[in-house]
Amino acid sequence: MREGAFIGVTVEQGSGIPAPRFEAFSPEQQVVAHAMRGMADLETVSEDEMRNATTEIVQAAEAIKQESRQRARVTVFERLKRFSKTKIGKGTLLLSGLNVLHLEPVVKAAGAHMEEVRSHREATSFIKDLPSQEDMRADLEQFYGKVILDSELPKDSADAPSISPSERHEKTQGDHLYAENHLEKMKHAEKTSEQDIGDFVTTFLPRQWTASSAIERFGVAPQPIPMPKEYGIDGHAAGVCHSGTGSLPARIEFAPGISVERQGFVHLASHEAAHANDWKRSSDLSSGERLTLLYSVTKRVASKTRMKFDYVEDIKNDDKQYERLYKTTEYWAKLMEVALTTEAKTEKGWETEFLTKASQRFVNEPRYHDAKEDLSIVRWYLNTVAPDFKPWEALPLRQEFQIGRAMGAADEALASIPPGAVKVFLSQPGRMHYSNLDERFVDGAGYELSPETEAAWEQMKELRLQIEHVTQPTAGSGALDRGTLIRSAERLVSILRGLKAYEKSLLEEHIDRASMVMPDSTMNGDSL
């Protein structure tokens, strides 16, 4: 008689109908054990199958328990809220003096909490609607083929062997994922340091995404990044995600000349970071969750009622299975791009903006209902990988960072141009000199700024003052809101760029003339 043990269920095999012997069961194990009763040949069921079956049941039961707890909490909070409005409830709170300070946040949190519960409920129901893992894998294998599927969902991805830095560099060269070809939109952008890029992305991406274990580095490529041949799209990419194999972190590079001030940057960084954290590369997903993610995104890509992105539609490859994979990979990145670049400040607003943006991308008419399927994927994913991340809280952080940079740029500009200076002199070829008209006007010795430039300069100083005013802690109710502020800051930076360009053109156009008319004796003080 042979005895085979499996997760607490001991099964005797060999003679007649097997008689399971049960030891120390959880309810879930009992279910599996129950299923085993009456089976003629237990040899046909592998341990893996049994383990998967148990895991599925445990996960589903856990989801029910969690949902039930959340519902119970809502009930308690709703009642507490009602109670706090009754005469005695209110009276107790008031009479308790200081303690009101303790309880009030609890009561206030009730509203926010209910939203969380709703989102949690949606996330769990999303899982409940999916087929079994076995069926999902079978469907995916049919869609992509076994080779691709095994490569996308490696079974032992968590156990990748450790490798040296040089090997790592070599390995991370292998698998590139590209953002769409919008490099043209970024021409003439002012350069941003890698440090600034790294700091900026943490303001709007989940911290789990930007952890060094997920993305090793955000950098700038030394050369323009060509689009991959596999995509069948010509031109250059604005960003690339070099993805390693196994548990290696990814490396993201942006096209030369990238600037965090560019409106497209937030989209671009979200897109690339999404690649680094998908079903194949995320270190925060279990194998079942990887399968769930790939399956649900694939289902959306295969659907006729889904979002259309030119970039995704343009992908062409002779091998149709690979073409599908590339489209799915890019659809996922686009999906997260939409989710992480909203301007909303509340969860409800975020949801509405996502659905509106997504439904506008449907081919024929807005499909609010279908867009909800995309939202469900995003919700479930964020709930699983980054439960503490709230996309609707990112905007103020993003703006604060941009304001900081704009103010830095403004400071630099104002420090280099003395207030009130209306004349520009060239001290020597390649060097500018500004002077105050009242203090040091030398007739015929300088070059006067054009009225447009003078106006722009004045506007810039005004904007700088506005920004200073609204960022003061004492700023009153008349202060600008953050949206206006960031627009002012952006305008300021654009004027600054205009001035710099003007400065350059002055140098180029008038260098000879200035060096002739400007005597050396007047060159003191404010030279740059």
Question: Long-range pairs for 196-202 at CB < 8 Å and ≥24 separation?
Answer: 196/260, 196/405, 197/254, 197/258, 197/260, 197/269, 199/401, 200/260, 200/265, 200/269, 200/398, 200/401, 201/269, 201/273
Q: Which stretch binds other proteins (CB under 8 A): 41-49, 218-226, 246-254, 393-401?
A: 41-49
Q: Which stretch binds other proteins (CB under 8 A): 29-37, 146-154, 182-190, 249-257?
A: 29-37
41 binds other proteins per the rule CB under 8 A: yes
169 binds other proteins per the rule CB under 8 A: no
106 binds other proteins per the rule CB under 8 A: yes
Looking at the DSSP bridge assignments, the partners of residue 20 are 11
Report in angstroms how near the CB of residue 80 gets to other proteins at its nearest: 7
What span, in angstroms and rounded, lies between the C-alpha atoms of 277 and 266? Answer: 16
> Residue 287's CB: how many other CB atoms inside 10 A?
16
- Binder to other proteins among 92, 245, 287, 522 (CB under 8 A)? 92
40 binds other proteins per the rule CB under 8 A: yes
- Binder to other proteins among 89, 145, 257, 288 (CB under 8 A)? 89
Closer Cβ to other proteins, 117 or 291, answer by number: 117
Q: Which stretch binds other proteins (CB under 8 A): 94-102, 222-230, 268-276, 306-314?
A: 94-102
Q: Please, are residues 300 and 238 in contact by the beta-carbon 8 Å criterion?
A: no
- Alpha-carbon dihedral angle through residues 64, 66, 72, 74, given to the nearest 10 degrees: -120
Contact map string, positions 43 to 82, toward other proteins, x by CB under 8 A: -xx-------x--xx--xx--xx-xxx-xxx-xx--xx--
Which helix or strand (DSSP H or E) is residue 340 part of?
Answer: helix 320-340
94 binds other proteins per the rule CB under 8 A: no
Cα 528 to chain centroid, rounded: 41
Cα 15 to chain centroid, rounded: 59
Report in angstroms how near the CB of residue 63 gets to other proteins at its nearest: 9
Q: Please, are residues 297 and 331 in contact by the beta-carbon 8 Å criterion?
A: yes
Cα–Cα nearest to 234, from 274, 296, 184, 295: 184
Q: Please, are residues 435 and 383 in contact by the beta-carbon 8 Å criterion?
A: no
116 binds other proteins per the rule CB under 8 A: no
Report in angstroms how near the CB of residue 8 gets to other proteins at its nearest: 15
Report in angstroms how near the CB of residue 123 gets to other proteins at its nearest: 17
What span, in angstroms and rounded, lies between the C-alpha atoms of 399 and 402? Answer: 5
88 binds other proteins per the rule CB under 8 A: yes
> Residue 489's CB: how many other CB atoms inside 10 A?
24
Report in angstroms how near the CB of residue 23 gets to other proteins at its nearest: 18
85 binds other proteins per the rule CB under 8 A: no
Q: Name the residues that contact other proteins, by CB under 8 A.
A: 27-28, 30-32, 34-41, 44-45, 53, 56-57, 60-61, 64-65, 67-69, 71-73, 75-76, 79-80, 83, 86, 88-89, 91-93, 95-96, 99-100, 102-103, 105-106
